[in-house]
Amino acid sequence: MVDGTRVAAVDEVPENGSYLFTAEDAYSRPTELILVRCDDEPGIEAWPNTCTHENQRFDRGTGAAVRDGEIICPKHGSMFDTCSGACENGEAAGTSLPDVDIAVSDGGVFLTDDEYTYLSAGAAGEDEDGDDGDDDDIPSSTSHIGF
């Protein structure tokens, strides 16, 4: 048995995209995290839902852009390795996404990181209808990049 909270079924994590959920961080703040597929074991990794260059969300509720094993920032196009979180290009080059500990067991993905407490599936502040109401505190993209 895994010591952690079940976040999602493995099958819910898309091959090209992300599964968005919200956890409370060590400072009691709601924090969006994403699950993405990875070629390394255990086959799925978790990362914060923000680019290291700017507080730009990867997944705005429809899945992050993931191509060839990299999460693509929608604002400047920096690409983060889905397995290591490392970025080697664009505005975020030389940075890495902070680790979020998970475990994959019995067809489920479990949040095992002591720094986070699972709150809910979806974006921070979403209501039961999937509407988060006010996005004023979350930057929107001004990018010309389309996926």
Domain CATH number, residue 63: 2.102.10.10
Report the percent of the chain where pLDDT is more than 70.
85
Neighbours of 3 (CB within 10 A): 7
Nearest Cα residue to 32 out of 65, 7, 9, 15: 7
What's the pLDDT band for 1 if we cut at 50, 70, 90? Answer: confident
Structural domain includes residue 45: yes
What would the two tokens of residue 32 be?
Answer: 């969006």
> Can you give the pLDDT at residue 134?
47
> Can you give the pLDDT at residue 55?
86
Q: What is the pLDDT of residues 21-39, one digit of tens each?
A: 999 999 999 999 999 999 9
Rounded CA gap, 86 and 38, in Å? 13
Structural domain includes residue 141: no
More confident residue, 50 or 142: 50
Q: What is the mean pLDDT of the chain?
A: 89
Total domain count, the chain: 1
SS3 assignment, position 103: strand
> Can you give the pLDDT at residue 117?
97
Considering just the CA atoms, what is the radius of gyration of the chain in Å? 14
Rounded CA gap, 120 and 22, in Å? 5
Structural domain includes residue 81: yes
User: 16: domain range?
Assistant: 5-121
